[in-house]
Structure 1
């Protein structure tokens, strides 16, 4: 039985049988080769193999020399194809060159941009340097001006305070011709001047004939609101008539019947000053002390009241 048939009997098939057959053929060829060498040494005239050996193996006529030079085949797990060789063609070279050129162009553009920015920064730094050189002189000038202003500030503050006092005195003096009427009911389409002149004629009948020329202006204060009677301010032509009416109206029965009250016309600052000292004056009045106002100033037993 041949080696090939033995392998088939062992159940080898497919690629494994093919590989094992190749190794069996090679081993048989080697055995024949060495047998021929031995036969040549023993009988030089014998140059051919026995017919029995030829009949047993059909592949006995294979070239032994070629079998000796053959390399063992690759194992089935390895690929029989040779690895592909990478061709360094002109296409890859041109692509590489294009990429390099593009990179050079980008770098050149960035360098140009950097150069332009550097020139602009240089100009800016030069301008800043000139300004810095000018700053010491300007700072010195500013310090001189500030020192002058600081020396003048106390004087300006004093003058401002004096001017405010003078303005307040002028406003207070001008309001000395005025009186305010509180509680006088407001009517639609009223002639407020005629109405007030008639009330004043009832309060001081002795001046009824000259009352129209004694009162200068009469009008209500503020915007009209529903359910609210606005105050009335009246200005006299002479201070003498104003003071006389102020004294008469304090205990006047006509004013009580009409539900009205006459008050002095104070500025906002004077009203705030009177309100600030009133709590102290109210406590003094409760203690039985002599309390009164003179203008916007309050007094307790002849001593001016100040805010603590």
Structure 2
């Protein structure tokens, strides 16, 4: 495990040192030693122990003492000034950072408040949208209750589809034969013209709900329709058609089991109890 050394002790044995060693090679070697120590252990010397110091050392120390103290004082002052400047600069940066953080926190609080307000408004709009969608769906469903669709009517050249629909209605429910020209308002085929061999469905709009309902009720058991293939169907909305696709298999299974099951508009019932999706 590595250990960080922050202070060290230097032990120097000066036995045999005298004036003969104080010449250029000796001083150069001494300075090299100081250079190596300063490069590898800068400003970490804790104690310097000198053993068997010759008589020249006290004299040299007295001469160098004042210079060492002056150098150390200058170094300490320089480092202190630099440290003080660094602390002041960091204090200013911290203060600026604090102001920035306070500003950001205030902005975040405002954003949270705005998001909460927007979320509340969005929920209100979703409720309002749901209400309007329900109302629009109810209005569409009500308007389609005046319609019936007719499938299996072959297309002919220059066909008079209105006359053909009135004829089929008269055969299906002859009790209103004289009134069909007046109560059947609009008749046309659905979809786009194409080369398909399957005839397009026909939709008809009634002005009398009484005759509409009577024809629809009779069509369910009409022998004429069974023999000639035309088939009446309710004009359901897209949502009601999806519900019908989900509920009709359950109605059919209930009927196969001998239960009273029927489908009215977008609602299915088994033994008088409505089936829930």
TM-score range normalised by the length of the shorter chain: 0.5 to 0.7
- Residue 291 of structure 1 corresponds to 261
Task: Identify the structure with the greater strand proportion.
Answer: 2
2:190/2:201 contact within 8 Å kept: yes
Residue 220 (str. 1) matches residue 189 (str. 2):
yes
Answering whether residue 259 of structure 2 is matched by residue 267 of structure 1, we say no
Stretches of structure 1 that go unaligned for 5 or more consecutive residues are 1-131
Q: Structure 1 residue 165: deviation in Å?
A: 1.4
Offset, 1:147 = 1.4
**CA 302–134 in structure 1, closer or farther in 2 if over 3 Å, else same:** same
Cα root mean square deviation, aligned: 2.4
Q: What CA distance in whole angstroms lies between the structure 1 residues aligned with 2:105 and 2:217?
A: 71
- In 1, are the aligned partners of 2:251 and 2:268 still within 8 Å (CA)? yes
Instruction: Report how far residue 137 of structure 1 moved.
Output: 7.2
Measure how far apart 1:231 and its partner are: 0.4
In the TM superposition, residue 141 of structure 1 has moved relative to its aligned partner by 4.7
Larger Rg: 1
Higher RCO structure (Cα 8 Å, ≥6 apart)? 2
Q: C-alpha separation between the residues in 2 aligned to 1:291 and 1:209?
A: 34
Q: 1:294 to 1:155 in 2, by over 3 A?
A: same
CA 1:258–1:238: 2 relative to 1, 3 Å: same
Q: Distance in 1 between matches of 2:247 and 2:216?
A: 23
Question: Is the deviation greater in 267-276 or in 146-155?
Answer: 146-155
- Where do residues 38-117 of structure 1 align in structure 2 (5 Å cutoff)? none
Query: How is 1:117-128 mapped onto 2 (pairs within 5 angstroms)?
Result: none
Cα deviations by residue, 1:210-263 (Å, 9 ceiling, x for unpaired) = 321110000000012321200000000111111011112222232233210111
Q: Tell me if 1:281 matches 2:225.
A: no
CA distance in 1, matches of 2:113, 2:215: 60
What is the count of residue pairs matched by the alignment? Answer: 177
Deviation at 1:175, TM superposition (A): 0.4
Q: Hey, what does 1:158 align to over in structure 2?
A: 127
1:301 aligns with 2:271: yes
What SS does the aligned partner of 1:197 have?
helix
Q: Aligned partners of 2:140, 2:183: CA distance in 1, in Å?
A: 21
Q: Which moved more, 1:228-237 or 1:285-294?
A: 285-294
**Correspondence 1:229 to 2:199:** yes
Give 1:167's aligned residue: 136
Aligned partner of 2:116 in structure 1 is 147
State the partner residue of 2:67. Answer: none
Instruction: State the distance in 1 between where 2:165 and 2:260 align.
Output: 34
Q: What SS class does the counterpart of residue 244 from structure 1 fall into?
A: helix
Shift of 1:140: 5.3
Hey, what does 2:212 align to over in structure 1? 242
Partner of residue 166, structure 2? 197
Paired with 2:273 and 2:148, the residues of 1 have a C-alpha distance of 27
For residues 199 and 279 of structure 1, the distance between their equivalents in structure 2, rounded to whole angstroms, comes to 29
